[in-house]
């Protein structure tokens, strides 16, 4: 048998094994990631996502120009608004909607420091739970940790914005009447409370969008560790 053929016979049986070695070397599992890698990657990803969300919403038309987060009148008052337009008072109704959304845009930047502080306090256990949790696990974490405090911080900013509008008192009067007739939910009867809550809903929705983008396309991140850790999820 020629020597070249003998070499082929020796090498060929080893090719499948070599291929398996190559595949295992390229693909990491969650168990192979170090705890500090997971925690650091999560912090980096969440810092980017939270900063992007606050930046998107805290600019002119961040709420008003985005149908996903734009704050409308509550359903019951929306019917009243249509009535106002019918009698030539549509401008006042539109002004109220604009004021609500401008108030939200002014309030959202207040969330940045609290979100960042929450990220810094992230534990290893938190990081692992978020990494292996549902698609919006980080957003749920933020909501649980920051919602009450953000409402408290948002309310004074929203109140200052709405007090410039005389229609704010009209909103509260109409909303309270709406509650009495079952047209408006009790939690929507106060303008400032309503706007603060809707601003938070918009913030968490936008954070969830940022989280989804990182989970879906980790390789587009500028952070090497984020690409490594979240890339493991894509390979699972």
Q: At a CB cut-off of 8 Å and minimum separation 6, what does 190 contact?
A: 172, 175
What is the per-residue pLDDT for 67?
A: 96
Per-residue pLDDT of the chain (236 residues; tens, 9 = 90+): 554 444 333 333 333 333 333 333 344 566 677 888 889 999 999 999 999 999 999 999 999 999 999 999 887 676 665 655 544 555 777 888 999 999 999 999 999 999 999 999 999 999 999 998 999 999 999 999 999 999 999 999 999 988 887 767 877 887 887 788 787 788 888 889 999 999 999 999 999 999 999 999 988 988 898 998 888 776 55
What is the per-residue pLDDT for 235?
A: 58
Query: Phi and psi (nearest 5°) for 191?
Result: -60, -50
Residue ranges per domain, the chain?
50-235
Q: How many CB atoms lie within 10 A of CB 92?
A: 15
Q: How many CB atoms lie within 10 A of CB 81?
A: 20
To 5 degrees, how large is the angle CA 155–CA 157–CA 162?
90
Q: At a CB cut-off of 8 Å and minimum separation 6, what does 159 contact?
A: 192
Alpha-carbon dihedral angle through residues 66, 223, 219, 221, given to the nearest 10 degrees = 10
pTM: 0.81
What is the sign, positive or negative, of the torsion defined by CA atoms of 143, 127, 38, 30? negative
Distances from the Cα of 130 to the Cα of 35, 135, 233, angstroms: 13, 9, 12
């Amino acid at each position: 048998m020629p020597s070249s053929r003998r070499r082929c016979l020796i090498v060929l049986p080893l090719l499948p094994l070599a291929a398996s070695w190559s595949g295992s070397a390229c693909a990491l599992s969650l168990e192979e990631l170090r705890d500090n890698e997971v925690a650091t990657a999560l912090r980096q990803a969440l810092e980017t996502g939270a900063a992007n969300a606050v930046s998107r919403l805290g600019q002119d038309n961040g709420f008003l120009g985005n149908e996903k987060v734009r704050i409308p009148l509550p359903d019951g008052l929306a019917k009243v608004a249509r009535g106002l337009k019918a009698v030539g008072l549509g401008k006042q109704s539109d002004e109220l909607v604009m004021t609500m959304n401008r108030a939200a845009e002014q309030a959202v930047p207040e969330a940045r420091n609290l979100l960042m502080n929450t990220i810094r306090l992230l534990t290893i256990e938190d990081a692992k739970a978020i990494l292996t949790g549902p698609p919006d696990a980080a957003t749920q974490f933020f909501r649980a940790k920051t919602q009450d405090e953000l409402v408290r911080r948002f309310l004074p900013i929203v109140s200052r914005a709405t007090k410039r509008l005389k229609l704010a008192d009209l909103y509260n009067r109409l909303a309270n009447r709406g509650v009495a007739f079952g047209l408006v939910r009790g939690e929507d009867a106060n303008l400032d409370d309503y706007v603060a809550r809707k601003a938070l809903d918009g913030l968490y929705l936008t954070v969830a969008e940022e989280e989804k983008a990182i989970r879906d396309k980790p390789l587009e991140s500028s952070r090497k560790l984020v690409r490594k850790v979240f890339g493991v999820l894509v390979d699972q």
